[in-house]
Structure 1
Amino acid sequence: MTNVAIIGGTGLTRLSGLEIIHREVIHTPYGEPSGPVTHGHLFGREIAFIPRHGPGHTIPPHQVNYRANLWALQHIGITRVIAVAAVGGITPEMKPARLAIPDQIIDYTWSRAHTYFEGSLSQVTHVDFTEPYDRALRSAMIAACDSAKLGQMNNGTYGATQGPRLESRAEIDRMSRDGCDLVGMTGMPEAGLARELELAYATCAVVANWAAGRGPDATITMEEVGRNLDAGMSDVARMLEALMPLL
């Protein structure tokens, strides 16, 4: 049995190199996860894998059942979660196709089911979210990127927006003033829910495009996003290969 899981985002609905052992359908108190949990071996280590947007990439960010996904992983004994996410780059360093290992997050989402602590509770529960990503897991991911010579960014603030539309230039300007380096749509409530379940959680962000108003082009095209994701996901595979022996 493994204690490591990978949550795949846009561009990673299937995990290249995964030798599949079996797939497991899990029903949760919070509804159905995005898909079956796939168990297998990746670069010599047993892991679990779940595609955040579903096997066919059909679930938009605001309709992902984050609570079910993370509960299902904890239910099968997972204690460490590597989240892969496609993002937009806001600051000049966060250029397309680059990997980043963020260390902070700002939540701009709304109306998502964002906590397990609701309903008939015996007491009010708060969790510390000062450092939203697990330090040890982040360090291992950075060491793996260094080993693979990927030229990643070792920190940054991820701004989580509602989606599914992309942001306006003015919204990105506001996020920049708030201190965001990256913009994505799935970072929250996923990171907060992982903390509530006491899972070690960290994100590998793949910059798929310049955020609105930040690149040389006036508009963002899906062709551009696809090209950058192809390059970035190749680096994710190299990071994972270097990471598995470190876990």
Structure 2
Amino acid sequence: MTVYAIMGGTGLTQLEGLTITRSLALDTPYGPTSADIQVGEFAGREVLFLARHGHPHRVPPHQVNYRANIWALKQAGAQAILAVNAVGGIHMAMGTGHFCVPHQLIDYTSGREHTFFAGDLEHVTHIDFSHPYTESLREQLIGALAAEGCSYSSHGVYAATQGPRLETVAEIARLERDGCDIVGMTGMPEAALARELELEYACLALVVNPAAGKSTAIITMAEIEQALRDGMGKVKSTLARVLAG
């Protein structure tokens, strides 16, 4: 049976319904994880849970220790990662409260420790990253969203930006020209690191605001926080359906 890990993003620093049996503070060659890994029972099976931004939420996207997080999940026995991401909507279909299960991504980040293949190596390794998300895991998320009656898109291109600031109108226009549908700050290097360690990986993205220039209103944290509160119940029920399946 596949051992699942849930990577909680903004708005999901705790997994309601998770009966915690133990917490793991693992040493990694890359330093500490964002938070301890919680091990427990959720939807009738044992799962691992890690808060990407720490608990409480205090680690900004450009300072998340992605290498430590992914390494520790692998060390703890994870075989597949269900990553939850709060994103901005670029494509007109990606309104607030809409879900997207992206099939592709473009990395616009810089300066992040983005690979395990660094330092004193015996040989150079190049992973195939043509399709950054595991298709079978994507299909499970898509099926769960459909069964839950959520508004969702089964495909999309995720733009990973540096943060922690939000993007300018001109930057979003560029991302749209590049073919991006949603924009977030934590999709990379997380996905690539999971591939390097041969972990299955898929993203469940919740749109929490229109991207810059896609609305006449100013983007506020209050708006984003409300969208997170409104959407987290559906996130948890979707994850529970995947795990129960």
The interval holding the TM-score normalised by the smaller chain is: over 0.9
Partner of 2:230: 231
In structure 2, how many angstroms separate the alpha carbons of the residues matched to 1:215 and 1:40? Answer: 41
Uncovered stretches (5+) of structure 1, i.e. residues with no partner: none
The yes-or-no answer on 1:245 pairing with 2:244 is yes
1:18-43, Cα deviation, whole Å (9 max, x unpaired)? 11111111010000000100001111
How far apart, CA to CA, are the structure 2 residues paired with 1:170 and 1:185?
A: 17
SS in structure 2 at match of 1:224: helix
* 19-28 vs 237-246, greater mean Cα deviation: 237-246
Task: Provide the secondary structure at the position in 2 that maps to 1:72.
Answer: helix
Counterparts of 2:226 and 2:49, CA distance in 1: 24
Q: Could you tell me the TM-score, scaled by structure 2's length?
A: 0.98
In the TM superposition, residue 241 of structure 1 has moved relative to its aligned partner by: 2.0
CA contact (8 A) 2:2 2:80 kept: no
Normalising by structure 1, what TM-score? 0.97
Give every structure 1 segment of 4 or more consecutive aligned residues whose post-TM-superposition deviation is greater than 4 Å: none
RMSD, aligned CA:
1.0
Shift of 1:2: 7.0
What does 1:184-203 correspond to in 2, within 5 Å?
184-203=184-203
Which residue is 1:125 aligned to? 125
Q: Could you tell me which residue of structure 1 aligns to residue 205 of structure 2?
A: 205
Q: Following the alignment from structure 1 to structure 2, what is the Cα–Cα distance between the partners of residues 216 and 101?
A: 26
2:175 matched residue in structure 1: 175
Q: Deviations over 1:91-119 (max 9, x none)?
A: 11000011111000000000000000011
Inter-partner Cα distance in structure 2 for 1:13 and 1:79 = 21
Alignment of 1:1-247 (within 5 A): 3-217=3-217, 219-246=218-245
Query: In the TM superposition, what whole-angstrom CA distance separates every residue of 1:41-92 from its partner, at most 9, and x where no partner exists?
Result: 1111110000000011000000000000000000111110000010000011
AA matched with 1:104: Q
CA contact (8 A) 1:2 1:48 kept: no
Q: Distance in 1 between matches of 2:236 and 2:79?
A: 21
Quote how far apart the aligned CAs of 1:151 are: 2.0
Q: Identity rate of aligned residues, in percent? A: 51
Unaligned runs of 5+ in 2: none
Q: Distance in 2 between matches of 1:2 and 1:100?
A: 23
Contact 2:81 2:199 in 1 (8 A): yes
For 2:17 and 2:98, the matched residues in 1 are separated by 21
State how many pairs are aligned: 245
- Whether the 8 Å contact between 1:82 and 1:204 is mirrored in structure 2 is yes
Distance in 1 (CA, whole Å) between partners of 2:55 and 2:84 is 15
Q: Does the aligned pair in 2 maintain the 1:2–1:77 contact within 8 Å?
A: no
Matching residue's letter, 1:118:
A
Q: Decide whether the 8 Å contact of 1:157 with 1:182 is kept in 2.
A: yes
